[in-house]
Chains A and B, each alone.
Chain A
Amino acid sequence: MAEAHLSPRAIPDRLQSRGNRLLKSWESLLLVVAVLVFTINSFASPYFLDPWNLSDATFNFTEKAMIAFAMALVIIAGEIDLSVASIIALSSTAMGLAVSFGFDTPMLVVVGLGTGVLCGAINGLLITGLGLPSIVVTIGTMSLFRGLSFIILGDKAFTGYPASFAYFGQGYVWWVFSFELVLFAVFAVIYSVLLHKTNFGRAVYAIGNNQTAALFSGVRVGRVKFILFLLTGLMAGIASICLTSRLGSTRPSIALGVELEVVTMVVLGGVSILGGSGTVPGVVLAAFIMGMVTFGFGLLNVPGIVMSIFVGVLLISVIALPILWARARRRVAH
C-alpha cells in the first residue's frame, strides 16, 4: 500500500541492518566480557563449572538484578531511586511484624509487596506531585524507610518465619534452577518487553531524552514517572521477600548499601546515568558479569571488600573508556 506513495527520493527506514547494529552495541561487548569472565573462572577454579556451584552463584545477583530492571527504567527516564535498599529493609521489617502477629506465608507476601508499593508511591508522589528532585527525595526516604525499621526493631531481629516462607529464597523450581533464578528470568523478559516493545517504554525514552519536548508531545510525564517509582518499590518488595526468605531473619541493617550495587549494575549494563538510553538485556548481562566475578573472587578467597574496589574501578572505567576511545580516534582522524 505504501509503495504507491513512494517518490524517487524516498527515505529508507534503516541504513544499518539490525544485526549489524547489534554487533556494534554495548551489549555485544558485555557478552564478550561475560564469556571471558566465565572462561577465566572455569580455568581459575576446578569447582566453578559444577552446576550446583553455578546455581549458588546466581544468588549473588538475582535479587539485586530484579531491582536493577526497574531502576534501569527510572534512570533511562532521567531520575534515580536511592531508597531501594531501605525499602527492602522496611518491607522485611513489615513482614517480620506480620509474623509476630501470627500471619502465614500468603499474607507475608502481601505485606512485603504492599510495603514496597507503598514506599514507591511515597517517592513517586513527592517527586511527581511536588516536583522535587529525585536524588534528594530518595536520599531522604532512604533515611526515613530504614529509620522506621530501626525504630521498630532497634538492635533486635525478627526470626521465626514459617517454613513455607523459605521457598522464595531457598526453593528450587526444577533441578538446579532456583525460584529466584526463574523469577529473575521472568522479570528479565517482562521488563525487556515493557521497555522495548510498548508505548510505555517509548515514553520512558522520550522523557529521558527531553522531558519538556515529551510533555509538549502529549506524553503524560508525571504519570509515567509515578508508575516507574511504583515499579521500583514493587521490585524492592519482591527482592525483600526473596532476601528475607533466604536469610530467614530481619535486621534493620539488612541490604545496607545495595542501592549502590544496583546503580552500578544498571550503569555497567550500558544505561546512561544522564538518562535517555540503555537496554534491559544490557542490564541482564551486567548482572551476570557482576555475579560471576563475585563468585570467582569468592572461590579464590578474595575478600568481598576487594571485590568492591573492582566494582568501583569497573564502574568508572566502563564510562571513561568509551570517552577516551572516541578521543583517541578523533586524534587519529585529524
Chain B
Amino acid sequence: MTKILKYREILLVIAIAALLVAITLRFPGFVAPANLARVYNDTSILIILALGQMAVILTRCIDLSMAANLALCGMVAAMINAAFPEVPIPLVIFAVVILGAALGSINGLLVWKLDIPPIVVTLGTLTIYRGTIFLLSNGAWINAHQMSDAFKALPRAPLAGLPVLSWLSVLAIAAVYLLMTRTPVGRAFYAVGGNPHAAVYTGIDVGRTRFLAYCLSGALAGLSGYLWVSRYAVAYVDIAAGFELDIIAACVIGGISIAGGIGSVPGAVLGSLFLGVIKNALPVVNISPFAQLAISGTVIIIAVAVNARAEKRKGRVILKKAEAV
C-alpha cells in the first residue's frame, strides 16, 4: 500500500510548500503556527466535504448536490435550535447527519435502482434541495440571535490548542482514511471505479457500492451543514451556493481522477489545503479577494492536466528489450 499512489501526494506537498515559501517572502507572519492553525480551521469544512466527494468520484460518479445538501441540513439544524433551544447540540448534529445521509441516499438510490447518470441525478437534486430550504424557511433568514449560545459555541470551543471544528475534521480524516484503506467497502469504492466490469466478477455489487458512497457524502454534507451554520451564525437559502465546485476542485487538485478508481485521503486533504492556503493568503499578500475564483479555476485546469499526464497509459510493451528498460 505504501508504495502506491504516493507520487501525486508528494507533488502536492511540494506545491503547497512552494506556495507557503512564496507567501512568506512577502508576509513572514503567514507561516506562524497560530496563523497556520487558523488557515487549517478555515479549511476544515472543505476537507470534510472533499472526503465525501472523493468516495463518490472514486466510484465513477459525481455529487453536485453536496452544497445544497449542506445548506438544507444547516437550515434544519438552525430551525431545530431556534424552535427548541433545549435540544442538546450532539442530538442536533446526529439528526442532521442522518438527514444528510438520507438525502445522499436519494441520489444513491436513483443512481443504483434506476441507472440514471449521476450528473443528471445530482443536478436535479441540487435544485430540489435548495428549493426545499425555501419551502421550509419561507425564504427567511435565521440569524445569530435566534440560535442558542451552545449551538454557536461548539465549533469555536478550544480543545488542546485547536478549535473543535479542526478536531472534527481531523476525526473525519482519520475515520475516512480507515474506511478507505482498511475496510472491504472502502476497497470496493476503488474496485468499482477502477473496473466496474471486473468488480462484478469479484462479487462486488456495483450499484450498492455507489449507493453507500452517496450515503457517506450525504452524511458528511449533513455534518458540514451544522458546522457551517453554527460557525457563520446564519442560515438562509443561498449558503454555500456554488461550493460544490470548490469541493470538486479540491478533489481534482488532490489527484482524484474524475474517471474513477484513483485517489486517496491524503490527496483530498492536500487538495483542500491548497485551496485553503490560497484563499487565506490572497488578502495577506494584497491581491484582491476577487482573484480567488480565477486562481482556483486556473489551478483546477493545471491539476487536471498534470493528473492526465500521470494517468496516461503507456502503449503496450511487446518488444522484449523495451520491457527491460
| A interface residues (Cβ-Cβ under 8 A, vs B) | 80, 126, 130-133, 135-137, 139-148, 150-151, 153-155, 252, 256, 260, 263-264, 267, 273-274, 303, 305-306, 308-309, 311-313, 315-316, 319-320, 323-324
> Are B132's CB and A147's CB within 8 A?
no
| B87-121 residues at the A interface, CB under 8 angstroms | 110, 114-117, 119-121
User: Which residue of B120, B124, B290, B293 is within 8 Å of A143 (Cβ)?
Assistant: B293
> Are A139's CB and B125's CB within 8 A?
no
> Are A150's CB and B291's CB within 8 A?
yes
> Are A260's CB and B294's CB within 8 A?
no
Q: A150-B290, A306-B131 are in contact. Are A273 and B120 (CB under 8 A)?
A: yes
Closest chain A residue, CB of each to CB of B308: A132
> Are B297's CB and A137's CB within 8 A?
no
User: Which residue of B115, B252, B290 is within 8 Å of A136 (Cβ)?
Assistant: B252
Nearest Cβ on chain B to A257's Cβ, whole angstroms: 8
Q: A139-B245, A145-B297, A151-B294 are in contact. Are A133 and B304 (CB under 8 A)?
A: yes
8 tightest A-B CB contacts, nearest first: A147-B294, A143-B297, A144-B297, A309-B131, A147-B293, A140-B300, A312-B127, A312-B128
Task: Name B's interface SS.
Answer: helix
> Are A150's CB and B294's CB within 8 A?
yes
Distance of A205 Cα from B290 Cα, bound (Å): 41
- Interface size in chain B (residues, C-beta < 8 A): 44
Nearest Cβ on chain A to B109's Cβ, whole angstroms: 11
Nearest Cβ on chain B to A13's Cβ, whole angstroms: 33
Binary contact track B128-150/A, C-beta < 8 Å → 1, others 0: 10111011000100000000000
Residues of B within 8 A of A305 (CB): 130-131, 134, 139, 237
> Are A141's CB and B301's CB within 8 A?
yes
> Are B123's CB and A315's CB within 8 A?
yes
Would you mind naming 17 contact pairs between A and B with Cβ atoms under 8 Å apart?
Answer: A133-B258, A133-B259, A136-B248, A136-B258, A137-B301, A140-B304, A141-B297, A143-B294, A145-B297, A147-B293, A153-B290, A154-B290, A155-B290, A308-B127, A312-B128, A316-B110, A320-B110
> Are A130's CB and B131's CB within 8 A?
no
| B294-310 residues at the A interface, CB under 8 angstroms | 294-298, 300-301, 304-305, 308
Distance of A8 Cα from B308 Cα, bound (Å): 55
**Is there a chain A Cβ closer than 8 Å to B55's Cβ?**
no
Residues of B within 8 A of A260 (CB): 123, 126-127
Residues of B within 8 A of A154 (CB): 288, 290
> Are A263's CB and B291's CB within 8 A?
no
Distance of A313 Cα from B234 Cα, bound (Å): 28
Residues of A within 8 A of B252 (CB): 136, 139-140
User: Which residue of B127, B245, B258 is within 8 Å of A309 (Cβ)?
Assistant: B127
> Are B296's CB and A147's CB within 8 A?
yes
User: Which residue of A150, A264, A320, A323 is within 8 Å of B293 (Cβ)?
Assistant: A150
Distance of A148 Cα from B292 Cα, bound (Å): 10
Distance of A147 Cα from B249 Cα, bound (Å): 14
Task: Name A's interface SS.
Answer: helix
Residues of B within 8 A of A319 (CB): 114, 116-117, 120
> Are A137's CB and B116's CB within 8 A?
no
Distance of A308 Cα from B123 Cα, bound (Å): 11
Distance of A329 Cα from B139 Cα, bound (Å): 43
Nearest Cβ on chain B to A294's Cβ, whole angstroms: 13
Binary contact track B225-253/A, C-beta < 8 Å → 1, others 0: 00000000000010000100100110010
Residues of B within 8 A of A155 (CB): 290
Closest chain A residue, CB of each to CB of B304: A136
Looking at B120, B121, B248, which has the most chain A CB atoms within 10 Å of its CB?
A: B120
Residues of B within 8 A of A130 (CB): 305, 308
User: Which residue of B249, B259, B290 is within 8 Å of A139 (Cβ)?
Assistant: B249
Residues of A within 8 A of B115 (CB): 323
| B39-94 residues at the A interface, CB under 8 angstroms | 62
Q: A143-B249, A143-B293 are in contact. Are A306 and B135 (CB under 8 A)?
A: yes
Residues of A within 8 A of B259 (CB): 133
> Are B120's CB and A151's CB within 8 A?
no
Nearest Cβ on chain A to B58's Cβ, whole angstroms: 15
User: Which residue of A132, A267, A311, A316 is within 8 Å of B304 (Cβ)?
Assistant: A132
Closest chain A residue, CB of each to CB of B293: A147
Distance of A311 Cα from B125 Cα, bound (Å): 10
User: Which residue of A144, A316, A324 is within 8 Å of B124 (Cβ)?
Assistant: A316
